[in-house]
Chains A and B, each alone.
Chain A
Amino acid sequence: MSNSLTPLLKSLITASGLSGFETPVRSLIQAAWEPLADEVSVSRVGSLHALRRGQAPEPRPSILLAAHMDAIGFMVTAVVDGFLRFTRIGGHDPRVLPGQAVTVFGRQPLPGYIVQPPARLLPAHAQEGTLPMEFLWIDVGLSPAEVARMARVGDVVAFAQPPLDTASETLCGHSLDNRASVVVVTHCLELLHSRPHAWDVLAVATVQEEETMLGAVSSAYQLRPSLAVAIDVTHAAGPGSPAHRTYPLGKGPALGWGPNVHPRLFKDFKHIAESQEIPFSIEVMPHHSGTDAYGMQVAAEGIPTMVLSIPLRYMHTPVEMVSLKDIRRLGRLLAEFIAQLTPDYMTAFSWED
């Protein structure tokens, strides 16, 4: 079954689903999760909830696996003589943008490119150096009249870089942050299909992580799990990136450690990884983990949380790179952890000060 992970990931990164506009990708995830879950529903704000029941007698404890499905992108702010001005959704480095393929979701999807105007058409102060986003245009190749008919202010714009298979089972593309983690959760559910587990598993594809973490806080509140795990991407070591803030690509997932992580959960995940011979790094997160865990930890009366990450190069560019091996390993780590959860795990769950 796991050999279908790559096609699934490619389809997920090809589908649109910007923060606040996740519906297209959510329907694909729903189709992938329905055969693996007992109940699937959509939250009031658009997150996908899939429940896989455990075998312990009720009331059963539950573990929430949160992978945000939203992606960064852009939004049209003006239509001028057939060209589109735009602003950002999520965090972008403007230096990455000139020449990028995009899709403008107008009256119908319009393929186009982010373009940098020639220097002579710019104010003197913007002719050299990084061109700020407000001077860039999107060109969809249509006549001004067609553009005025097809596009308008507020249309969302997604990267359109096609998926690219690179060496040693790595994959490049946009939105691997965080569709790669959606595939991790899918893989975990697949593995649990043939493994008994006592706990309920709540797989959640959250919305709006890149903006407000709306999905994480609302789903954690609604589902009230005993434990919650945020699955996200972290920075992989690569060209130009500082060694002390990155983790090796293709050498296993990263286990988060810091204030957003319950130390007992960290310890138990680490133990499972070691006993299953799953290679891993330890990612230190001195403050905000930058993941859904930050929101889930303080939902309702508070939830013990863990952060597990896939190392990824070139985050928030259209050529993010992940290792499919890391995706499979992290799915396996989650499945092993869940399969080993006993019905009374929470009674012994404590601070060991």
Chain B
Amino acid sequence: MPQTKSTSLKIGAAQLRLLERLSNACAVSGDEGEVRKIVLEEIRPIADDVKIDALGNILAVKRGLAGGAPLLKVMLDAHMDEVGFMIIQDEGDGIYRFDTVGGMDERQLVGKSVLVGKDHLPGVIGAKAVHLTRPEERKTPISLDVLRIDVGPGSNKIKIGDWAVFATRFQRLGPSLVGKALDDRLGVATLIELLKHAPPNIDLLAAFTVQEELGLRGARVAAYALDPDLAIAIDSTPANDLPMWDGSENAAYNTRLDAGPALYIADSSTLSDPRLVRHLAQTGDALHIPYQFRQPGGGGTDAGAIHRQRLGVPSVSVSVPGRYAHTAAGMARLQDWQHTLALLHAALERLPADILSVER
């Protein structure tokens, strides 16, 4: 592969350490404080303007170098929140009933360790011993109604309303990255890097949003406040690239690991602006940065809320493909993250000032 011109942004040890901190931070929708703190630490020294809005979004501006005509206002979005749990009832002696926050498959909860509350108290979601179950019973998944978080007898440090997350620690497995919240801390880390290396030809409006997992709620008000000309949501999208059960071809993979950033043409909440999709693809082609088109279909990103704001905002989403999102351990590839960062940075650098005056 020829050397690319604009891929000055590299994922090195510092970026991996930042991703590790972000992935291990506990920030369930509505409780994004821990991630907010890390983001603010990283961007305060370099952004022209940083504020926190009514919902807890971080809105940061990095202005370009205007010659005469005003620069394109480009909103870049990554959500800070992750799926998780909330304690809803204290049953005494360290046993707590809980609910899920965000979309999770109940079958993924059983037998996991969790961290509860501000102090990250360790606990487990256990299951009745297999010896005490009947074969028929084992055919039915264990429902949330009977699952409990157990922090050990005699503990009284947990309150109803405390949030909890899977206790999974960030891990590298060969070429892969594993974490509980790569969705969307990969996006957050990417956006931090882009802010730090903002190209001078645009006004970069960064939104680190809250409550994406509960219906894109942070992005909606962020887009109103920032009032951008166009927007790019940076997220993580499922790579369903596992073998089919019967060995037939998997035609429902959504995206594949190792195939580069996933460009969205259409999902269930947004029809991407074709000019932006074309520009991203042409950038990838020109610079030999691999990319893939996400299979059109379900799912969605913050773009779903952003593109319907005010007069309408031409929008597109770019995701790092990831397996097993919304489980204890999501998995992505370092190379895909590298290519996502490189493609976004190059596409912004090369963004034509008149991109929105051409026909869709």
Contacts and interface: CB of A to CB of B under 8 A. Distances in A.
Interface residues of A, number: 66
Contacts of B133: 93
A98 B141 CA distance: 11
A240 B155 contact: no
Given A121-B245, A130-B107, A131-B107, A166 B124 contact: yes
Contact of A83 (B167, B176, B242): B242
A118 interface: yes
A140 to B, nearest CB: 6
Contacts of A99: 108, 112, 324, 327-329
Nearest to A319: B124
Given A96-B110, A112-B173, A141-B176, A168 B331 contact: no
Given A96-B110, A249-B153, A141 B175 contact: yes
Given A142-B175, A168-B153, A168-B155, A317 B331 contact: no
Nearest to B97: A239
A135 B245 contact: yes
Interface string A94-124: 1111111100000000111101111011110
B129 A241 contact: yes
Interface in B118-169: 121-133, 138-142, 146-148, 150-155, 157, 167-168
Contacts, number: 200
Contacts of B238: 118
B64 interface: no
B132 A142 contact: no
A75 B324 CA distance: 22
B129 A166 contact: no
A168 B154 contact: yes
A81 interface: yes
Given A101-B329, A113-B329, A129-B140, A96 B152 contact: no
B7 interface: no
B138 A290 contact: no
A80 interface: yes
Interface string B227-259: 000000000001010111111001010000010
A271 interface: no
A235 B132 contact: yes
Nearest to A320: B126
A229 B155 CA distance: 34
B243 A167 contact: no
Contacts of B242: 83, 115, 117-118, 121, 137, 139
B146 A239 contact: yes
Interface string A71-93: 00000000011010000000111
B148 A239 contact: yes
B122 A166 contact: yes
Contacts of A141: 173-176, 178, 331
Given A161-B113, A240-B142, 16 more contacts: A91-B130, A94-B138, A96-B127, A98-B107, A99-B328, A115-B242, A117-B240, A117-B242, A123-B245, A137-B243, A142-B175, A315-B130, A317-B110, A317-B126, A319-B124, A321-B126
